[in-house]
Amino acid sequence: MLKKIDRIRLELANEVLNSSASREDYRVRYLGSKGLLKELYQEFKSVASEEKREIGLALNQLKQAIEERLETAGTNDEAPKQQKEINDVTRPASTETVGTLHPLHLITQEIISIFERIGFTQSEGPEIEDDWHNFSALNFPADHPARDMQDTFFLDTPFNQFSLRTHTSSVQVRVMESSTMPVRTISAGRVYRNEAISARAHCFFHQIEGLYIDEEVTMADLKQTLDYFAKALFGPEVHIRLRPSYFPFTEPSAEVDVSCSLCQGSGCNVCKYTGWLEILGCGMVDPNVLSSCGIDAKKYTGFAFGMGVERIAQLKYRVNDLRLYSENDLRFLQQFHL
Ligand code: DAH
């Protein structure tokens, strides 16, 4: 009897109930006083008592399904009436909510397009990096503090061999290892550091790395490129200055400030009354790094630079709390447009 019930349930789906005549026919066949359901309940009386429970349940479910089928068919009947209203072409369209691009994405695209105009290609690398690409090839000594557990998220692998990349400089190494010279490329991406989350620090953020290697590339080329970049991004009136600094992978190294576009350098609370805003780190690629990547350091020189996307966004959009960028609050995100 169970099989029979199953079969009838399957057949229900094939019933066509698109008119009141067909619905009435259905009702009589299934639910009428001489209908199928009546017949089944009759048959049920002679079912062995140990099977009654299971078959009774199936029978009740079938009854429900038969009734539901009829009810939903009834609502279909009203469809043609509604259809007329929907087809009213003069009716104003319902408003669509259109998403906006994330502010960090907008800034990244803007920076990429500025460098593309002067011949930089784009490149990318993995977020899980090995020690070689994130540190060793970049001339980090074995005991350099940046390798420390405090800073780096190491993966649970033997000898701390893999970590989440702490900077996009790792992509430099991959590009140098796999390209024929000259190269001119920028790499944007997410990086990770083991920092407590606050308004000023986050455990992940975004960087854009630049690299240019050719014969006879000099510090003057670096300065010229960054000056062009700063003017394109912040406006033609800004200028830059380079302050000596230190990074293991560049020699000499510098930090770059741009004149404060808010107060034109005269001093305000954004630039902390210095007239300058720090925007990136840079330098001439250390010959050790070139050699580590299989490049002839006697023939080639190059420059590199790296900037934090959140830092640039903070300056452009005046957003001072880093957490806003990753909290997905629509009230924040909807303010940014192309
Ligand atoms: N990788 C550095 C950081 O995360 C930024 C940087 C500085 C990149 C100088 C460079 C560079 O390419 O030349 O702080």
Domain shared by 263 and 175, yes or no: yes
pLDDT of residue 17: 85
Task: For ligand 1, say whether the CB of 169 is within 6 Å of any of its atoms.
Answer: yes
Domain shared by 201 and 274, yes or no: yes
The total number of structural domains that make up the chain: 2
Domain shared by 315 and 191, yes or no: yes
Dist. CA 122 → ligand 1 center (Å): 17
> Residue 170 in contact with residue 190, Cβ under 8 Å?
no
Of all protein residues, the one whose alpha carbon is nearest to atom 12 of ligand 1 is 305
Question: In this structure, which amino acid lies at residue 236?
Answer: P
Domain shared by 68 and 109, yes or no: no
- Is there a domain that residue 157 lies in? yes
Task: For ligand 1, say whether the CB of 167 is within 6 Å of any of its atoms.
Answer: yes
Domain shared by 222 and 135, yes or no: yes
Domain shared by 64 and 121, yes or no: no
- What tokens does 61 get? 């479910």
Domain shared by 66 and 126, yes or no: no
Of all protein residues, the one whose alpha carbon is nearest to atom 3 of ligand 1 is 167
Task: For ligand 1, say whether the CB of 302 is within 6 Å of any of its atoms.
Answer: no
- Is there a domain that residue 91 lies in? no
pLDDT of residue 249: 97
Domain shared by 127 and 246, yes or no: yes
Measured CA angle at 205 (ends 204, 206), to 5 deg: 140
Domain shared by 113 and 41, yes or no: no
- What tokens does 104 get? 């960090």
Domain shared by 47 and 157, yes or no: no
> Residue 249 in contact with residue 285, Cβ under 8 Å?
yes
Of 28, 53, 85, the last residue of a domain is: 85
**Cα 309 to Cα 189, 202, 206, 267, distances in angstroms:** 9, 13, 5, 24
Domain shared by 132 and 248, yes or no: yes
Dist. CA 254 → ligand 1 center (Å): 10
Name the residue range of residue 42's domain. 2-85
Dist. CA 306 → ligand 1 center (Å): 4
Domain shared by 287 and 241, yes or no: yes
Please give the torsion angle defined by the CA atoms of residues 59, 63, 69 and 74, in that order, rounded to the nearest 10 degrees.
Answer: 180
Of 53, 85, 117, the last residue of a domain is: 85
CATH number at residue 180: 3.30.930.10
- Is there a domain that residue 201 lies in? yes
Of all protein residues, the one whose alpha carbon is nearest to atom 13 of ligand 1 is 282
> Residue 170 in contact with residue 178, Cβ under 8 Å?
no
Count other Cβ atoms within 10 Å, centred on residue 188. 22
Please report which residue ranges of the chain form alpha helices under DSSP H: 2-12, 20-31, 36-44, 49-76, 79-86, 103-116, 131-134, 169-178, 219-234, 287-292, 309-317, 330-333
- Is there a domain that residue 98 lies in? no
**Ligand 1 nearest-atom number relative to CA 210:** 12
Q: What pTM was estimated for this model as a whole? A: 0.73
Of 55, 85, 115, the last residue of a domain is: 85
Task: For ligand 1, say whether the CB of 250 is within 6 Å of any of its atoms.
Answer: yes
- Is there a domain that residue 94 lies in? no
Cα(43)–Cα(98) distance, rounded to whole angstroms?
60
Four-residue CA torsion sign, 247, 249, 252, 253? negative
Q: In what order do the strands lie in the sheet with 183-192?
A: 121-122, 183-192, 204-214, 301-308, 276-285, 250-259, 240-247
- Is there a domain that residue 97 lies in? no
**Ligand 1 nearest-atom number relative to CA 169:** 1
CB under 8 Å to 160, separation ≥6 — which residues?
131, 154
Pairing of strands 240-247, 250-259: antiparallel
Please give the torsion angle defined by the CA atoms of residues 207, 247, 255 and 286, in that order, rounded to the nearest 10 degrees.
Answer: -100
- Is there a domain that residue 96 lies in? no
Q: Block means of pLDDT (10 residues each) for the chain, length 338 residues?
A: 88 83 89 90 91 90 88 62 68 84 96 98 97 96 84 88 96 97 98 93 96 98 98 95 97 96 84 93 98 97 97 89 92 86
- Is there a domain that residue 264 lies in? yes
Task: For ligand 1, say whether the CB of 125 is within 6 Å of any of its atoms.
Answer: no
